[in-house]
Amino acid sequence: MTKADMVELVYDRIGVSKREAARIVEMIFDLIKETLERGENVKISGFGSFNIQHKKPRRGRNPQTGEEITISARRVLSFKASNVLREHLNP
Per-residue pLDDT tens over the stretch 42-59:
999 999 999 999 999 999
For residue 20, what are the CA distances in angstroms to 29, 30, 31, 34, 59?
A: 14, 15, 16, 21, 48
Instruction: Write down the pTM of the prediction.
Output: 0.77
Q: Which residues pair with 65 in a beta bridge?
A: none
Separation of alpha carbons 55 and 74, rounded Å? 5
Q: At 91, is the pLDDT very low, low, confident or very high (cuts 50, 70, 90)?
A: confident
What would the pLDDT profile of 27-42 be if each residue is shown by its tens digit? 999 999 999 999 999 9
First CA to last CA distance, the chain: 22
* Domains, in order of start, for the chain: 1-39 (4.10.520.10), 41-91 (4.10.520.10)
